[in-house]
Amino acid sequence: PEAIVVSELANRMAERVGDVVKSLMQMGMMVTQNQTIDADTAELIIEEFGHTVNRVSDADVEQVINEVQDKAEDLQPRPPVITIMGHVDHGKTSLLDAIRNAKVVAGEAGGITQHIGAYQVVTDTGAVLSFLDTPGHAAFTSMRSRGAQVTDIVVLVVAADDAVMPQTVEAINHAKAAKVPMIVAINKIDKPGANPDKVRTDLLQHEVIVEKMSGEVQDVEVSAINGDGLDDLLEAIALQSELLELKANPNRAAQGAVIEAQLDVGRGPVATVLIQNGTLRQGDIFVVGEQYGKVRALINDKGERIKEAGPSVPVEVLGLNGTPEAGDVLNVTSTEAQAREIAEYRSKAAKDKRAAAGAATTLEQLMANA
Ligand code: GTP
Ligand code: MG
């Protein structure tokens, strides 16, 4: 059953904790401010103090999240989200740098990507594309998995001078698990030892049959260094996204996925969120995983402050009460009380789950030691 610490209850009602303790005593309950009371007792106290009871349940949480069911006529085309994946050093960031005309690789420690980069690109043909760059190093499996889960298309980068490697295979498996279509970018074809056909043959062993091998997966030969094949890659992406007919409703409360989040010394908790539906605006109230907040500022991938972020836009969100977890879902709510209640409800549910798991282990240990 639900329960709450006395001081917390007083806090939430904005009443003095001493008064709450006194009330409890009058009801025959001898508790200190640090003790827990059950939900029914709390409800009595809340009414006693003239407040209204607002208990959150799983069903309420579900309701907030699925509040708006989009009608077909409300849906509008949205940009594709493309996640770049592949083995370490196969040239993922370089490829994105070439597409974006940027120099991210040059600024990376040891030339190794250690987080998910999120960027929006407008191509020469006017197409808007959202890209996620993932790390290839073996240690970052969960980031790759997350990248595959929030994307529409995976671009699998394989270096032609190195062929299929362990994290190439891992990326293929993430894309398959997430049921996301793949495009193979055979990179570094400028290198003397490049053997793109070896890449194609290697991929057969992992049930990736590219077009040149009479399969259905688009394959493009590229060089991030001299720019060869980049237009072909963008064309392949355009073709694939056309097939997907991607749509969203920009005119609704925003929903998004946390790509990454950290506690910034100067700015407080900051989350990079990929908006999946609706439009997030400055001043919006939201719940995100076990945290909640009010959008204080939105910052795009170029470091500029923006007023709103629509479907498929990656954006930094400021104004959180705490740091959410990567992978958490953000939902805009109508009131701050609702956002806080859902966040607290989730936080408590997670705590209970951890406590239950902890108790189980202790019991097991006791049995083992007996
Ligand atoms: P991680 O993020 O650490 O997994 O690496 P990455 O896949 O992002 O590779 P990155 O773009 O950092 O490139 C690794 C190295 O390969 C760098 O030294 C690049 O200059 C080089 N490189 C990338 N693409 C090409 C290419 O097309 N041709 C040649 N010759 N070198 C390339
Ligand atoms: Mg990289």
- Span 68-108, pLDDT tens digits: 578 889 999 999 999 999 999 999 999 999 999 888 888 88
Tell me how far apart the alpha carbons of residues 186 and 175 are, in angstroms, rounded to a whole number: 17
Q: How many angstroms separate the first and last alpha carbons of the chain?
A: 31
Looking at the CA of residue 113, tell me the nearest atom of ligand 1.
2
- Span 33-81, pLDDT tens digits: 989 888 888 888 988 898 877 666 655 555 555 555 788 899 999 999 9
Which residues are known binding-site members? 86-93, 133-137, 187-190
Distance 49 CA to ligand 2 centre (A): 57
- Span 195-249, pLDDT tens digits: 999 999 999 999 999 999 999 999 999 999 999 999 999 999 999 999 999 999 9
Q: Is 4 exposed, middle or buried (0-12, 13-18, 19+ CB in 10 A)?
A: buried
CA distance readout (Å), 346 to 33, 97, 154, 196, 349: 23, 39, 32, 49, 5
Is a pLDDT exceeding 80 seen at residue 315? Answer: yes
Q: What is the pLDDT of the chain when averaged over all its residues?
A: 90
Tell me how far apart the alpha carbons of residues 322 and 253 are, in angstroms, rounded to a whole number: 21
Task: Let me know: does 174 contact 135? Beta carbons within 8 Å.
Answer: no
| Protein residues whose CB sits closer than 6 Å to any atom of ligand 1 | 86, 88-94, 105, 111-113, 135-137, 187-188, 190-191, 223-225
Q: Is 228 exposed, middle or buried (0-12, 13-18, 19+ CB in 10 A)?
A: middle
Taking residues 284-291, report their average pLDDT.
96
- Span 325-365, pLDDT tens digits: 999 999 999 889 889 988 988 888 888 888 877 766 666 66
Taking residues 129-141, report their average pLDDT.
92
pLDDT at position 1 is 45
Task: Let me know: does 325 contact 289? Beta carbons within 8 Å.
Answer: yes
What pTM did the predictor assign? Answer: 0.82
Which residues are known binding-site members for GTP? 86-93, 133-137, 187-190
Distance 357 CA to ligand 2 centre (A): 37
Alpha helices in the chain (DSSP H): 6-13, 17-26, 39-48, 58-65, 92-100, 141-149, 166-177, 196-204, 230-244, 336-369
List the one residue out of 120, 135, 137, 192 whose CA is nearest residue 160: 192
Name the closest-CA residue to atom 15, ligand 1: 89
Find the ligand nearest to 136 CA.
1
Distance 352 CA to ligand 2 centre (A): 39
